[in-house]
Chains A and B, each alone.
Chain A
C-alpha cells in the first residue's frame, strides 16, 4: 500500500514537472513571439523614422539645389568658366561634393571645370546623365557611381537633380542642376544605434533599389572588384525565408515586409523592407541580427523563470504547509475516528461481559438461598469470576496497547535461558491445551541457550500465539511449538519460534488484518471467541519493538503457522540467571511470623474495596487495620507500637495525603520499624512511572488493581516474613 502511494506520489511529481516543462516551453515560445512582434514593431518604427529622415534630407537637398539655381540665375554669368567658378564656390560651401549643370545637348559642366561630353570618353568612361531627366522629371534622386579606373578612382554618390527652366549660360541651354553627394553624407541619417551592445552594432540600415543595388550600403563599396548587390549577398547565405524572385516581386509591388535570413557566416538576421514614399524608387532596409531578439527574450525568460521559480517555491511551501495541515487534520480525524472506534469497541467489549456479570448477579440474587440451586449458583459464580477475569485481561491488553502505541513500553535486556522460557510456555499452556484433547509438542534446537532479551514480553507474545492456537484447534488436533536459532554473527543470534497448529485456519482476508486491533474472526468451528482482539496486535507491536519479525501463514481448515523471529545478543553466561524466571515463587520460601497473625495496615479510601480486602485478609488470618487516607495511615502507624504492623497496603491515590507521600512520611518517622515495615503500593495505575514513583517514596512492592487475591496473599505472606523491605523489592 505504501509502495503504491510512493509510486503515485512520484507519478504526480513527474506529471507536475512535465506540466511545468510544457507550460514553460509554451510560455517561452509565446514570449519569443511576443518579443519578436514587439521588436518588429520597434524595427518598423525605427525604419520609418530613418526613412522619413532620409526623405527629409532628400527634400532639403533638392531645395538647396533649387536655391542654388535661383542664385545662379541672378549671377547672370556670361561665360561657362564664370558659371563653373560660381559652381565651384557654391560647392565648396555646400554638402555636395560636385555641382553639375546638365546641358540640353547632354554635356555636363562641372564645378571642377571639367566638361563631360557623353559622346566622348573622359578617363576611359562616358558620363551621361540625360537618362535621369528623359521623362520630364522635375526632381531626381538616385545612386550614381563614378568609376574612372584610369585615374585609380571610384566614387559612390547620391545624385540629386532639379530641372531647370529657361536657364542659359553663354547661349547654352541647361536642362538640370545636379548635386553629387557622397553616400556617407546620407549614411549619417541612418546610423542604427538601437541594437548596440558592448559597442558592437548588431544591425544596420541600407537603402536598396528594386534591382538589389545598394543605394546606400552599410559601408561604401570598398573593394571595386567585389559584387555589391543585395540579391548576391542573399544568395551567398545559407537560408532565407523568401527567394530572390519573391523578394523582387514584393519590392516591385512596393510592399512592406520582413523575413529571416542566415548569412554566409551562419549569423541569423531579420531583414525588414519598407518602400520610400513618392517618386523615390528606393527601399529602406533594416537588418537586425537574430541574437538581438533572443537576448531580449532571454532576459524576459530569465526574469520569468526566476519569478516562476519563486512563485513555485512559495506555492510549494504553501502546499507543504497545507499538506502538513491536512495531514494533521487527517491524522486528527483518524485519531478521533480511531478513538471513537476504540470507544465503540471497548464499549462493546466491556458491555458484553458486564451484561453477563449483571445478569449472573441478578440470577444469583434471585436464586441465592434457594435450596437445591447451590450448584447452579456456584456455576454462575465461576462464570462470573471468569467474566471478571476476562474484563481484567481486556483492560490489561488495552493498557498494553496504549503503552506500545505510545512507545512507552520499556523492554528489559537481561539474560534469558531460551529453553527455560519455552518450558515455562509449555507448563503454562499444557493444561489448557491438553484439556482440549489437543496434542502439544515442543521441539527445540537451541545451540545458543542464553540470549539477551525481555523474557516477560517474549512469553507474552508466545502465550498469545500458543493460546490462540489452543483456542482454534479442535479436539484431536496438534500444536507444535518449535524453536530454532540462526547465528547472524559471533555475538548475535536470531531465535525463531514457530507455532504450527492443525486448527481451523484463517481466511486470507483475515490474515491480512490479523495484526489490527480488535480483529477477530468469527468461526463456527471455534468453541471460543473470547478474547479482546488485541492479543495479536500487541504481539506484533512487541515483536516490532524488539526488532524482530512476526509472520503468519494460514489456510482454512488446514491450520495456521505463526513464526516469530527475534534477533538478540548472545549472553555471556547462563547459570546465574536461571533462577530468575519465576521470582514470584520467593513468597513460598518466606512464611509469615510465627506466633501471631500478620498485622496489616490498609490505607484505602474506597469503602467497598476496603471492605472486600478486609474480609479477604481477615478470612485468610491477617489482622487488618483500616485507614481512610494517607494521613490517617501515617498517624495510625505512628501511634502503633514498634513492630506492631508487619505490612502496610498503601493505596496510591487517596484524599488528604496520597500514598507516596504517606509512605515517605512513614519512612521518615523516628522509630525502629519505620525503615523496615513492608509497604505495598496498591493502585490501578500500572505504568512503569507509577511503579518508579512508588519505589522512590520508599515502598517495597506493587499490587495492581483489581487485586488478584492469590497474588495478594502470596505477597503478603512474603512481606510479612521479610525484615528488610529494601531487599525484597520485586518490581
Chain B
C-alpha cells in the first residue's frame, strides 16, 4: 500500500519539472521549425506564405554561412586545443608538491567566474587595444609595431579570449581526475625505472581519457553558442571574419528581422549541436550505469 502511494506521489513530484522542460523544449522548437518554412519578415507586413525549403537553401548556400561554419569549427577546435593542452600541463603541475598550491589554484580558477562581457571588454580595451592597450605599450618598449588584434586577427583574438575563460574549467576537471590516480602504482612505476614520459603516456594519459572526453564534449556544447564575446569585441567583423553560426543567426533574426531565414539557421544549429550531444549522452549514460 505504502509503495503504491509513494509511487504515485513520486510521479506527481516529477510532474512540474517534466512538464516545464517539455514545454520549454518542444513548443519553441516546433515554432522554429514552422517558421523555417515560411516567407516571414517582421518588417514586411502581410501574409507569410509557405515556401518549402527555400529558407534552408538560402541559408546554406549563403557565403556568410560557409564562412561562419568554418569560423565556428576554428573557434571550437582552437579553444579545445589550447584549453586541453594547457589544462593537462597545468593539472600535472598543480598536482606536484608545491608551496601555496591553494593560492595558485585560486588564481588559475578565477577567469571562469568572470562574466563573458567583462572578460571580452577587458581584453579588447585594456590589453589588446592597438594604441592604449598594455600589449601595444609592451610592443613599443621592445621596439615592435603593435598588432591591431581585432582588425588583423579577429578570430584568433576571440579564440584567445575564450581560451582564457575556459582553461580554468579544463584544468579543474583534469586536476580532479589526476588526483584520483593511484599513487602506489606511480611509485611502483618509479621503482621499475619508468621515466616521466613513459609514466605520462602509459599511466597518466589513459587515466585521464574519461575526463578529457568530458571536457571536450562539455566545452563543445558551450563553445558552439559563443555569443557575448563576439558581440562586444568585433560584432562579427571585419566582414564575416569573426562571425560564428550563433552570431550569424542572431544578426539575421533580430537585426534583419528575417524570421524565416533565422529559423532555418536555428534548425541547422540544432542539428549540428545534436551530433555532439549524442556522443556526450553516451559518455554520461555509461557513467550512470557504473
Same complex origin of A and B: no
State the A residues within 8 Å of B (CB): none
